[in-house]
Amino acid sequence: MVIARTVAELRSAVAALRRSGKTIGLVPTMGCLHAGHLALVDLARREATACVVSIFVNPMQFGPKEDFAKYPRPFDDDCRLCEGRGVDVVFAPGADFYAADSSTWVTEESVSQGLCGEHRPGHFRGVATVVLKLLLACGCDTAVFGRKDLQQLAVIRRMVRDLDVPVRVVAAPTEREADGLAMSSRNRYLSPENRARARVIPESLRRAQALVVAGERSAPVLLSAIRGHLATEPALRLQYLEVVDADTLRSISVIVPGRSVVALAAFLGDTRVIDNADL
């Protein structure tokens, strides 16, 4: 496995793979890898014949009061996990991945609005900018992202479409813990008590799905049922809860099975948890 620290080193490693007839799959990450990330790697290796994993804690997507400084960075452990999973190249640039006087941003102005975008101003501008830089640096054929980050996936798909970026975006199902909580690097911030309380989130989403299967089509009824179940954990502070169209991410009042998603963000202590479920 090659560890590339600069764009030039990455492009050299990718060129060597291409000379041997390989196609390239990219898994962009901020490190602190867990089983969810490794599932993305497995999917990338099925979709392409070589895999690149980027590990870069992107300062541009963190707000001034967010956790950039304390975000976990177990780089050696991450590399061992990547090597054990058959990754060909780890791309781990430093802060100079951005020029000191960098002044160019990628801004998506539709699907980035609402949901997380409403509460994290500038976040998706930072996401779109770094992902485009990674796609251009790697020149990959396929890029794999998880469905847990529903809005991020939508922003990247829209950016790739609108800017004619020559890459195929592949979405991977959300990987979950045994009790249903969506896997996330930030789950390690949860205290044992709040980790136990967090299971109310996937429970509420499963209840919503069961209501739709039973014939419920009213989004307000569904949202009321979810809020009622979340309220059984008074320590949980709901930031948003919406039923949205799966393509536009705009709020809807009538559920269309197969085209609607319920999405939420909540705090347990200082830890923000996001999740979503197809309806």
- Catalytic positions are 37
CA 237 to chain CA centroid, Å, is: 22
Distance CA 221, CA 254 (A): 10
Q: Which two tokens stand for residue 170?
A: 């592949």
Q: Which two tokens stand for residue 192?
A: 């044992």
Q: Is the dihedral of CA 238, 240, 246, 252 positive or negative?
A: positive
Q: Over the Cα atoms of the chain, what is R_g?
A: 19
Distance CA 22, CA 137 (A): 17
Contact 123, 68 (CB under 8 A): no
**Angle between helical axes of 123-138 and 7-19 (0-180°, round to 10):** 50
AA letter at 231: A
DSSP assignment, residue 266? E
